[in-house]
A and B are shown apart, each in its own frame.
Chain A
Amino acid sequence: MRALYTAATGMAAQELNVQVISNNIANLRTTGFKKQRAAFQDLIYDHVRRVGAQASDQGTILPVGVDIGGGVKTVGTPRLMTQGTLSMTGNDLDIAIRGEGFFKIQMPDGTFTYTRDGSFQMDAQGRLVNAQGNPVQPTITIPQNSTGITINAQGQVTVVLPGSSTPSNIGQIGLTRFINKAGLQPIGDNLFTETPASGPPQDGIANTDGYGDMQQSNLEQANVEVVSEISDLIAAQRAYEMNAKVISAADQMLQSTAALFR
């Protein structure tokens, strides 16, 4: 009985759906988090009677056929790269990106990763680093005892050096764009890496050429909307239950057939 296996694909798909939704909800308060959703497609069809087949010598054709589908498959869990809302933190080293682009982070092994999470810190050498202590590219080193750190919309960092009254420019934080930002691979810690699907990174400067601008003392919230997640969760749970019901109904049919044989 095909219905059993068809419903099983439905249950597996909805289980994955709940998994994706729960990850979105778990990251509701994760800075720079971009929500995912499960995308489903129907499986291959068995054309038992093909529509459009000739039904007679006169050339009449079947207006409808018998098509039996085999269930559902998950085609991907694309990430929705929409803008999250900005929230004011008052912290000098928090930066939010408004628009396109990612911060570029250098990992300990020399490779680069990309993030929307702009909650930066200063390390022992005065470098601007992310929460894991990896430096932001290009490396910005804030001189000791300097005050008044200002980061403008283009990412230029200015500080007031000790003994000086005018601010001086100490570097510029860059942004990186990808033609297909949804194709980046998440590696945890709010970081993404480049993949063949994302296209090569294009380094640039904030507020130019379609790059977003930087907002100091702000953080980008996750773009997860609780209301839509909860309604998706309800829909997924009910769909799971209904698929389970189909399995028990198919089982019941098989049972009554088996009971014929005594």
Chain B
Amino acid sequence: MENALLVGLSRQMVLERQMDVVANNVANVNTNGFKADKSLFEEYLRTGAHEDNFVSSDRAVSYVLDRGTFKDFAQGPTEQTKNPLDLAIDGDGFLVVQTAAGERYTRDGGLQINNQGQLVTAAGDPVIGTSGPIVFQPTDHDISIAADGNITVLEGLNRIDSVRGKLRVVNFADAQKLLKDGSNLYSAGTAAAQPDTVSKIRQGFIEKSNVNSVTEMSRMIEVTRTYTQIATLLQQQSDLHKSAIEKLADVPA
């Protein structure tokens, strides 16, 4: 009976959620290693009330449902920072981070060294190498990170590099299964991490957010306009009811 109102409402609820996704993308437009989310919709069919007196059969009412948000894992632009502890991953790989909750994965390569000399993320969680955390000695200087993730330093007055470890870089056959944990971290969920030998590490660069601001802005405009249109539609539908009630119920004296 009130199908138009309910269909309109289902669209508005979905649009509101899409707006939340756009807002989160825009808020993270300057977050290093951030991957944008995109919304997916599907039609949700539901048979309405029956009326068998019509010649043709009833059509099912078509609602809209947001089926999911998928992560756009496209490479973000890289910016040169010349900071030896900044690294960008060229490829599908992720760095492995040891957090209190277990292993997490990140694309944010703005790394630091903590007071024990360990290589850590900006939040202080150790970045894991192929054989445990990467630890620097007090006399190390001139840190160099090779494309394959091999970390070497010059120790003291030595002129020959000493190896401090090799970054563990992993990728996922189905990266969509990764769960965003916030703090630029992903948890594996049902996905299985496998060693990545293809991705290249670029020292002195940082991967920026891959949010495309032009796309996000036009999507935002699209969302608001559609939302307003639906609101007008609901308004008209409601006016229709109103005048129907007024006119039909108008008992002549």
- Distance from A43 Cβ to chain B, minimum over Cβ atoms (Å): 5
Point out which of B19, B117, B216 has the most chain A C-beta atoms below 10 A from its C-beta.
B19
Contact check, A40 vs B223: say whether CB atoms are below 8 A apart.
no
In which size bucket is the chain B interface?
Answer: 35 or more
| Chain B residues in 8 Å Cβ range of A208 | 156-157
Contact check, A252 vs B224: say whether CB atoms are below 8 A apart.
yes
Q: Interface code B96-130, partner A: CB below 8 Å = 1, 0 otherwise?
A: 00000000000010101111110000110000000
| Chain B residues in 8 Å Cβ range of A51 | 68, 176-179, 189-190
Contact check, B26 vs A75: say whether CB atoms are below 8 A apart.
no
Contact check, A250 vs B117: say whether CB atoms are below 8 A apart.
no
Contact check, B30 vs A17: say whether CB atoms are below 8 A apart.
yes
- Interface assignment of B95: CB less than 8 Å from any CB of chain A: no
4 other contacts beyond A42-B31, A65-B179, A210-B141, with CB at 8 A cut-off?
A2-B20, A179-B116, A236-B30, A252-B224
Q: List the interface of chain B (C-beta within 8 A of A).
A: 12, 15-17, 19-24, 26-32, 34, 37, 40, 66-70, 79-84, 108, 110, 112-117, 122-123, 136, 138-141, 154-157, 174, 176-184, 189-191, 213, 216-217, 220-221, 223-224, 227-228, 231-232, 234-235, 238
Q: How far is the CA of A247 from the CA of B113 in the complex (A)?
A: 38
- Interface assignment of A257: CB less than 8 Å from any CB of chain B: yes
Q: How far is the CA of A197 from the CA of B124 in the complex (A)?
A: 10
Contact check, A7 vs B83: say whether CB atoms are below 8 A apart.
no
Minimum CB distance partner of B113 in chain A: A180
Contact check, A75 vs B183: say whether CB atoms are below 8 A apart.
yes
Q: Which segment, of A66-74, A85-93, A109-117, A132-140, faces chain B?
A: A66-74
Contact check, A7 vs B27: say whether CB atoms are below 8 A apart.
yes
Contact check, B115 vs A197: say whether CB atoms are below 8 A apart.
yes
Minimum CB distance partner of A4 in chain B: B23
- Distance from B7 Cβ to chain A, minimum over Cβ atoms (Å): 15
- Interface assignment of A29: CB less than 8 Å from any CB of chain B: no
| Chain B residues in 8 Å Cβ range of A197 | 114-115
Contact check, A39 vs B110: say whether CB atoms are below 8 A apart.
yes
Minimum CB distance partner of B25 in chain A: A69
Contact A66 to B179, CB < 8 A, known contacts A7-B27, A75-B122: no
Point out which of B12, B70, B115, B157 has the most chain A C-beta atoms below 10 A from its C-beta.
B115
Q: Which segment, of A120-128, A165-173, A238-246, faces chain B?
A: A238-246
Q: How far is the CA of A63 from the CA of B173 in the complex (A)?
A: 13
Contact check, B220 vs A245: say whether CB atoms are below 8 A apart.
yes
Minimum CB distance partner of A200 in chain B: B115
| Chain A residues in 8 Å Cβ range of B84 | 82
| Chain B residues in 8 Å Cβ range of A10 | 23, 26-29
Q: How far is the CA of A228 from the CA of B86 in the complex (A)?
A: 15
Q: How far is the CA of A43 from the CA of B66 in the complex (A)?
A: 22
Minimum CB distance partner of A225 in chain B: B82
- Distance from B212 Cβ to chain A, minimum over Cβ atoms (Å): 11
Q: How far is the CA of A61 from the CA of B176 in the complex (A)?
A: 12
Q: How far is the CA of A245 from the CA of B219 in the complex (A)?
A: 12
Contact check, A1 vs B179: say whether CB atoms are below 8 A apart.
no
Chain A interface residue count, CB cutoff 8 Å, equals 75
Contact A49 to B27, CB < 8 A, known contacts A199-B116, A238-B213, A252-B228: no
Contact check, B68 vs A49: say whether CB atoms are below 8 A apart.
yes
- Interface assignment of A182: CB less than 8 Å from any CB of chain B: yes
| Chain B residues in 8 Å Cβ range of A256 | 227-228, 231-232
- Distance from B137 Cβ to chain A, minimum over Cβ atoms (Å): 8
| Chain A residues in 8 Å Cβ range of B116 | 179, 199
| Chain B residues in 8 Å Cβ range of A198 | 115
Contact check, B32 vs A68: say whether CB atoms are below 8 A apart.
no
| Chain A residues in 8 Å Cβ range of B20 | 1-3, 6, 68-69
Contact check, A3 vs B182: say whether CB atoms are below 8 A apart.
no
Contact A210 to B231, CB < 8 A, known contacts A45-B180, A64-B176, A68-B69: no
Contact check, A210 vs B154: say whether CB atoms are below 8 A apart.
yes
| Chain B residues in 8 Å Cβ range of A183 | 112, 114-115
| Chain B residues in 8 Å Cβ range of A246 | 19, 22-23, 26-27, 220
Contact check, B21 vs A63: say whether CB atoms are below 8 A apart.
no
Q: How far is the CA of A249 from the CA of B223 in the complex (A)?
A: 9
Contact check, A257 vs B29: say whether CB atoms are below 8 A apart.
no
For chain A, residues 1 to 38, give those with C-beta under 8 angstroms from any C-beta of chain B.
Answer: 1-4, 6-7, 9-10, 13-14, 17, 37
Q: How far is the CA of A74 from the CA of B31 in the complex (A)?
A: 9
Contact check, A64 vs B231: say whether CB atoms are below 8 A apart.
no
Q: How far is the CA of A67 from the CA of B18 in the complex (A)?
A: 11
Q: How far is the CA of A236 from the CA of B112 in the complex (A)?
A: 23
- Interface assignment of A52: CB less than 8 Å from any CB of chain B: yes
Minimum CB distance partner of A1 in chain B: B16
